[in-house]
């Protein structure tokens, strides 16, 4: 049963937006507290049904899971593993800001040298301070770019125009993105989630974890 309780469950806010992925154990706790309800897609009616934990137990009794890994075994019965739950009170979209890391800069700049415009493997790239640190340049999203080693060596501790270089794109801080999209990048997706991932997953820019 322990393995089943670690299965991922998609969490929706009360506006039906995907906001989190949690373990089934945590999902059952939220259901028991009446902080959430199970969302089940009725394939015959092509509609969504909502269940409290007690109602879900009754539904599970009438519609037992076909596979062992799809159910949690209790003393009295086997309860179907919920794949999607909806929070009854939470209506926000939690967000996080991307950290300024080497890989995230490479991801923002698409592994493309911002001086010569060529794309390189990451091991052949460096990070460059547009305004050199000895001239007061800071290590910020707005002053760090992806640079190939030859361009980086040529520029040295000069401003771009001093090295006769020109930036392809003005560096900027990436936009905030929902936490859910970061989680979905590294989570297996259950078929029951597909109805809720249009905005949260497929249309969100990817980043390297």
Query: Could you tell me the pLDDT band of residue 126, with boundaries at 50, 70 and 90?
Result: very high
Inter-CA distances, 145 with 77, 84, 197, Å: 58, 40, 32
Structure-token match 């089943």, residue found = 4
| Pair 55, 139: CB distance under 8 Å | no
Inter-CA distances, 142 with 21, 160, 176, 200, Å: 32, 14, 15, 27
Strands 78-80, 71-73: pairing kind: antiparallel
Give per-residue pLDDT as tens, 138-181: 999 999 999 999 999 999 999 999 999 999 999 998 876 555 66
pLDDT for res 203: 41
Top-confidence residue, 176 or 109? 109
Residues with Cβ within 8 Å of 107's Cβ and at least 6 positions away in sequence, in order, are 206, 207, 208
Predicted TM-score (pTM) of this structure: 0.54
Give per-residue pLDDT as tens, 194-204: 777 754 444 44
Domains in the chain, start-ordered, CATH in brackets?
4-95+178-202 (no CATH), 98-163 (1.10.30.50)
Task: Taking each helix axis as running N to C, give the angle between helix 24-32 and helix 53-62, from 0 to 180 degrees, rounded to the nearest 10.
Answer: 120
Residue 104: helix, strand or coil by DSSP?
Answer: helix
């Amino acid at each position: 049963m322990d393995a089943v309780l670690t299965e991922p469950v998609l969490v929706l806010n009360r506006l039906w937006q995907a906001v989190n992925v949690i373990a089934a154990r945590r999902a059952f706790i939220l259901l028991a507290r009446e902080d959430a309800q199970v969302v089940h897609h009725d394939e015959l009616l092509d509609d969504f049904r909502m269940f409290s934990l007690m109602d879900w137990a009754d539904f599970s009794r009438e519609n037992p899971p076909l596979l062992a890994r799809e159910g949690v075994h209790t003393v009295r019965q086997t309860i179907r593993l919920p794949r999607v739950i909806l929070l009854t009170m939470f209506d926000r979209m939690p967000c996080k800001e991307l950290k300024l890391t080497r890989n995230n800069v490479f991801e923002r700049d698409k592994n493309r040298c911002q001086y010569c415009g060529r794309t390189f493997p990451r091991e052949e790239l460096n990070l460059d301070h547009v305004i050199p640190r000895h001239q007061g340049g800071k290590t910020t999203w707005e002053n760090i770019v992806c640079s190939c080693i030859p361009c980086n060596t040529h520029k040295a501790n000069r401003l771009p125009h001093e090295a006769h270089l020109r930036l392809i794109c003005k560096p900027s801080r990436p936009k905030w993105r929902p936490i859910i999209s970061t989680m979905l990048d590294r989570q297996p997706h259950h078929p029951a989630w597909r109805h809720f991932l249009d905005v949260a997953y497929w249309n969100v820019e990817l980043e390297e974890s």
